[in-house]
Amino acid sequence: MSSTAVIERPARWSKGERRRRAYMRRFSRMTALQKLRILRDLNPYRDYRGFIYAFTQRVLRNGVYVGTRVKFGLTNNIDRRRREYRGCGGMCWISYWASDCVKLTEAIIHARLRARGIHIKKVVCGCGTHHREFFWKSGIGGTVDIQLEVEQTLIDTAQPIDRTDF
């Protein structure tokens, strides 16, 4: 004899629960693009216009090449950000993109890459700085795939694609 859990429905849902259920019914019928537009409009970040950038960096341990990592970041001044990373070795800047809501765009890119399991928790660079938010390039693909990752996020958040290559 198998036991099944029976969820008893109350005689009357609370007003808040009725609203939540109605919203979830509408939300489940929306396309992914509509959902992302809503998320952009309800963006919890204090967002601003700026740039999303991507670069790769070769990883050496004891002089032996072990892989390449990728950094996706945000800034409001590309030249300043490039100067800040000048002391780090083995870098190859790929591209940068103009964005209307850089914090949301970067958060979505990072969430997608973390879901793939290629996130590097903390990086101690040759410059002595502890960098964050690097990802293994082998989990993303080539340079074109890196660019497509950002551009797909811009499309999903209904932003124009304005890419500049280095």
Eight-state DSSP code of residue 1: -
* pLDDT at residue number 9: 60
Residue ranges covered by each domain of the chain: 13-42, 50-165
Q: How far is CA 137 from CA 66, 69, 149, in A?
A: 11, 5, 12
User: Between 141 and 44, whose confidence is greater?
Assistant: 141
Give the contacts of 107 (CB within 8 A, at least 6 positions apart): 45
- pTM score, two decimals? 0.71
| Contact between residue 136 and residue 120 where contact means Cβ atoms under 8 Å apart | yes
Among the listed residues 115, 98, 114, 92, the one whose alpha carbon sits nearest the alpha carbon of residue 150? 98
For the residues 74-101, what does the mean pLDDT come to? 90
* pLDDT at residue number 73: 93
Q: Which ranges constitute the DSSP H helices of 11-54?
A: 15-29, 32-41
How do residues 107-153 score in pLDDT, each as one tens digit?
Answer: 888 888 888 888 887 777 777 788 888 888 888 888 888 999 899 98
Question: Residue 29 — pLDDT band, cuts 50, 70, 90?
Answer: low
pLDDT at 5 over 80: no
| Contact between residue 91 and residue 85 where contact means Cβ atoms under 8 Å apart | yes
